[in-house]
Amino acid sequence: MSSIRKAISTNLEASQSRKSSTAVVARPALFKPYSSYTYNLISCVDTAKSVFDQRDGMSIVKEQLRPLFQKHGLQDNFGAGLIYRHFDLGPDERLVEYNGTATPWQCRECFLGRKIVPIAWLFDGDHLLPYDFRFPASSEDMEQAAELKRQAAFLDEVHHVLRKSELDWGLGLRGMPVTGKESLLEVSQQKANITIPQSELPKDKHNKSNVETMWFFDKKSDKRYACNYLDVMVSHRHH
């Protein structure tokens, strides 16, 4: 394990020394470029979930983050997500989703003349860093990522909540899946993540999840749409 990875692991698992004074933070006005090096420093799902539970992360999601998405009218575009990696990536790789399957792509900002757009972000200091991407199939996909850059007040408030709760490297932002608020199963096979509609699954597979990893919300109600990790299949499901 590299010294930097150890430092980030320490930040996640043993950041008790951070005081309440960190609640006053600078606005994350700038978006940092993607880095596969930083991506590989992200914790696995088990470690991320452990820290999330230690920080009472579900209460943060329900009581503090959900009202912010609703307040700014962004609940149909973005949600909150546990920050974790599926597998390590090479120096020139990024995880890109297309047609429900995410695989490592050796590309930079564009592919076949179309811009690759981020769908997951984490706070790195006072900046926002993308770490998962999508090859956009429509103008709506491209607009989703652009919209986040126009939401300075929202980002400022989310950042404040995450820093205060010591979850700024544990929780981040997620773009809405292309299927919207629909039940999906995401299965990892080697270095591919494949999303499958729940309607195509045997009924005995519908309720075997145990770790929620993403959350999307309705406009006014308390309802949450969660993404659940299935440890038997090393996968997780949206519902």
Inform me whether the pLDDT recorded for 121 exceeds 80.
Answer: yes
Q: What is the mean pLDDT of residues 115-141?
A: 89
The owner of tokens 């039940």 is 183
Q: What is the mean pLDDT of residues 44-55?
A: 92
Angle of helix 3-13 relative to helix 45-54, nearest 10 degrees, comes to 30
Give the dihedral sign, CA 81/87/92/96.
negative
pLDDT at 98: 92
C-alpha span between 39 and 3 (Å, rounded): 15
Q: 2-11, 94-103, 128-137, 221-230 — which is least confidently predicted?
A: 2-11
Q: What is the mean pLDDT of residues 107-131?
A: 89
pLDDT tens sequence across 169-218: 899 999 988 777 766 777 778 888 887 777 777 776 555 556 788 899 99
**Mean model confidence pLDDT for the chain:** 80
pLDDT tens sequence across 67-107: 999 999 999 999 999 999 888 999 999 999 998 899 999 98
pLDDT at 198: 72
C-alpha span between 180 and 143 (Å, rounded): 15
C-alpha span between 52 and 200 (Å, rounded): 31
Three-state DSSP class for residue 158: helix
Inform me whether the pLDDT recorded for 6 exceeds 80.
Answer: no
227 band by pLDDT with thresholds 50, 70 and 90: low
pLDDT at 146: 84
